[in-house]
DNA sequence: AGTATAATAAGATTGATTCTCATTTTCGTC
DNA sequence: GACGAAAATGAGAATCAATCTTATTATACT
């Protein structure tokens, strides 16, 4: 998947929100911009720092909820149970995560087409064997990053 | 990995806790028994229901913390951010999770040796390419279970 | 049995997240 | 370019899983 420019992404988001009859306001745009700059999932607290100017935390959480509900961003929880948000895969491409055991940093990782295909087959097989209709998969690689490795 | 009997698991846990100079008390044993019956990760609230008799929630959390710290159980967070606990892999074998998108149920899944080897190679390659020393990996398959598929 | 140490129980506390509601902004219309 | 309806925001209250505190109880060792 060729990556979209920042401008194209905002355009895609605007259209998606329009379909959901939701306005693409300044606050919501600020969240998308912040997540665009970050190259991995970020917590609400981290996003507050990434966004220029003061953002009320309650408003930020509502922006995140709206964007999540309309499929613009995805939400998952890190090892400490804190929610982390990132742009949805239809905007930035399917990818996985490399997590540092020490500092907790999370980076996006895209597999090669061949690797992703193999993983996809594997996952389908697993779902079938248990009677599930597979809708997706998540792979997290855990390790110690170069900086933490002393 | 051949699976251990319930009795053998309690024995292993006892030894592991002894090494950590921690007692294997009734409350801690009850948690292990409950997780042994459950065939997948369970939340603190669910474990309260699985354990026979009333268990103070604060005590349960401390038992879980002690067992987690000594490596007897593992902890992760589900899509709603609540913590789920399960017996550690050295007790029940390395495995992955099949998660139902609808009801949230989580089942353990073990891959074949061949599949697991291939996955292991893949994650090693990913870690190397990013300068990480890989320590593990997590694969979650998402889908809709037979019951929820109507 | 007696003592020192660890574990438990009950409730208070914390902290991320959500809810409430009054105020403000936006959009389509006149 | 103001008007009214609907949507969004902001400030603080409320929620709830999880942790902490401390007094009490149980356990291991002598």
d(CA A35, CA B121): 31
**Co-location of A73 and A130 in the same domain:** no
pLDDT for B2: 66
Looking only at the bridges linking them, the beta strands covering A106-109 and B42-43 are unpaired
**Co-location of B127 and B68 in the same domain:** no
Count of CB atoms situated within 10 Å of the CB of B145 = 20
* Separation in Å: D6 C1' and A25 CA: 15
Q: Residue written as tokens 């051949």?
A: B2
* Separation in Å: C14 C1' and B58 CA: 14
**Co-location of B24 and B51 in the same domain:** yes
Instruction: Name the CA radius of gyration of chain A, rounded.
Output: 17
CA angle A63, B142, A94 (to 5 degrees): 60
Mean pLDDT of B76-80: 91
Tokens at residue A84, please? 């982390």
A16-25, A135-144, B63-72, B95-104: the lowest-pLDDT one: B95-104
**Co-location of B22 and B9 in the same domain:** yes
pLDDT for A46: 95
**Co-location of B99 and B83 in the same domain:** no
Q: Which nucleotide is nearest to A56 (CA to C1')?
A: D10
**Co-location of B87 and B101 in the same domain:** no
pLDDT for A103: 81
Q: Quick check: A118 and B118 CB within 8 A?
A: yes
B59 touches strand D (CB under 7 A): no
**Co-location of B78 and B22 in the same domain:** yes
Counting every residue, how long is chain B? 150
**Interface test mutation site (partner B, options A82, A122, A147, max chain B beta carbons within 10 A):** A122
Residues B139 and A105: beta-carbon distance below 8 Å: no
Residue after which a domain boundary falls, among A73, A92, A111: A92
**Co-location of B24 and B60 in the same domain:** yes
**Co-location of A72 and A102 in the same domain:** no
Residue after which a domain boundary falls, among B45, B60, B92: B92
List chain D nucleotides near protein: any atom < 7 Å from a Cβ: 7-13, 17-21, 27-28
Count of CB atoms situated within 10 Å of the CB of A20 = 13
Distances (CA, A) of B62 to A60, A108, B58, B68, B72: 33, 34, 6, 10, 14
**Co-location of B43 and B53 in the same domain:** yes
**Co-location of B118 and B139 in the same domain:** yes
Give the pLDDT confidence of A75-90 residue by residue, as tens digits: 999 989 999 999 999 9
Per-residue confidence at B101, pLDDT binned at 50, 70, 90? confident
d(CA B144, CA B113): 26
Using the Cβ of A89 and the Cβ atoms of chain B, whether some distance falls under 8 Å is answered with no
Residues spanned by the domain of A135 = 94-150
Per-residue confidence at B103, pLDDT binned at 50, 70, 90? confident
Assign residue A49 the CATH number of its domain.
Answer: 1.10.10.10
Adjacent-strand bridge partners of B107:
B98
* Separation in Å: D10 C1' and A15 CA: 27
Residues A87 and A101: beta-carbon distance below 8 Å: no
* Separation in Å: C29 C1' and A21 CA: 19
Residue after which a domain boundary falls, among A46, A61, A92: A92
Domain count, chain B: 2
Averaged pLDDT in 10-residue chunks for chain A of 150 residues: 86 94 95 93 95 92 97 94 96 93 86 95 96 95 91
d(CA B117, CA A108): 23
Q: Residue written as tokens 């220029």?
A: A52
pLDDT for B1: 58
List chain C nucleotides near protein: any atom < 7 Å from a Cβ: 6-12, 16-20, 26-27
**Co-location of B110 and B139 in the same domain:** yes
Tokens at residue B118, please? 């291939």
Using the Cβ of A143 and the Cβ atoms of chain B, whether some distance falls under 8 Å is answered with yes
């Amino acid at each position: 998947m060729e990556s979209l420019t920042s401008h194209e992404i905002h355009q895609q988001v605007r259209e998606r929100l329009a379909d959901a009859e939701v306005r693409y306001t300044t606050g919501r745009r600020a969240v998308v911009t912040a997540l665009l700059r970050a190259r991995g999932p970020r917590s609400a607290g981290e996003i507050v720092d990434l966004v220029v100017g003061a953002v009320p935390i309650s408003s930020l959480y509502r922006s995140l909820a709206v964007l999540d509900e309309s499929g613009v961003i995805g939400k998952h929880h890190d090892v400490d149970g804190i929610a982390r948000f990132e742009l949805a895969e239809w905007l930035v491409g399917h990818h996985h995560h490399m997590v540092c055991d020490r500092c907790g940093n999370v980076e996006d990782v895209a597999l090669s087409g061949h690797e992703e295909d193999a993983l996809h087959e594997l996952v389908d097989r697993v779902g079938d064997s248990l009677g599930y209709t597979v809708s997706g998969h998540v792979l997290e690689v855990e390790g110690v990053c170069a900086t933490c490795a002393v």
